[in-house]
Amino acid sequence: MKKLFFLIIIATTTPYFSFAQWPSNVAVISMDEKDSVVVVQGDLAKGSLMKDLSWAWSSSNACFPGTQASKFKGNHVFFAVTMPPRCEMFISVTPTDANGDLSIYAYRIGAADYNLVPELGSCITCEADHKWDGNWKNRVQTSERKVSFQNPGTENYNILIGVSVPAGVTTGQFNLKVKVRS
């Protein structure tokens, strides 16, 4: 009887875990080789607003502080890529209009995880870049936003990339570049 019960549990729950994938609003980027560069075009008009940004400043994610939330209140567009073992990954986004004000965030989760914000309980690491509030000595900020990750281990990871803009902005095209270097 216990074996039958166990088999029924396995049979009914396996489809939910074995075939997990990103939701349909996430564009999956395929990287063919470890040392490669992929550039994809994106359009904020295909994204949507995210009303709850509290996941970002949660101590379980620590992506960006609540004081910077205004830079992420416009539409969000999502991309995902698998990060291979023993590599560095560099991600950048550049608006096609040089005056565009984009923001980017990206988080690393396990290879079998497909958690999409705002339903992100925790992540391994999260990085973000946005327009500065002021000037930095001896530094100039362009319209390009960048984040990066390192994977010295032997496991693959999923990287979710979010591109956003300030409140009130719902359109704008951009190029997203993902570079992997071993």
Angle at 121 between CA 119 and CA 127, to 5 degrees: 90
Asked if residue 17 belongs to a domain, the reply is no
How far apart are alpha carbons 143 and 165 in whole angstroms? 12
Asked if residue 153 belongs to a domain, the reply is yes
Q: Which of 100, 102, 111 is nearest to 77 (CA)?
A: 102
Asked if residue 3 belongs to a domain, the reply is no
Asked if residue 61 belongs to a domain, the reply is yes
Position 7 scores a pLDDT of 38
Asked if residue 8 belongs to a domain, the reply is no
pLDDT above 60: residue 70: yes
pLDDT of 57-66, one tens digit each?
Answer: 999 999 999 9
The full DSSP string for 46-91 is GSEE-S--HHHHSTTT--S-GGGGGGG-SEEEEEEEEEPSSEEEEE
Position 61 scores a pLDDT of 94
The CATH number covering residue 156 comes to 2.60.120.380
Give, as one character, the DSSP assignment of residue 99. Answer: T
Q: What is the mean pLDDT of the chain?
A: 88
Percentage of the chain modeled with pLDDT above 90: 76
Range of the domain at 60: 22-181
Asked if residue 16 belongs to a domain, the reply is no
Asked if residue 44 belongs to a domain, the reply is yes
Position 142 scores a pLDDT of 86
Q: How many domains does the chain have?
A: 1
In which band, very low, low, confident or very high, does the pLDDT at 83 lie, cut at 50, 70 and 90? very high
Asked if residue 29 belongs to a domain, the reply is yes
CA count, 13 A, side-chain hemisphere, 117: 34
Position 35 scores a pLDDT of 78
pLDDT of 122-163, one tens digit each?
Answer: 999 999 999 876 677 777 778 999 999 999 999 999 999 999
Q: Which of 114, 138, 119, 121 is nearest to 26 (CA)?
A: 114
Position 8 scores a pLDDT of 42
Q: What is the pTM of this model?
A: 0.86
How far apart are alpha carbons 52 and 72 in whole angstroms? 10
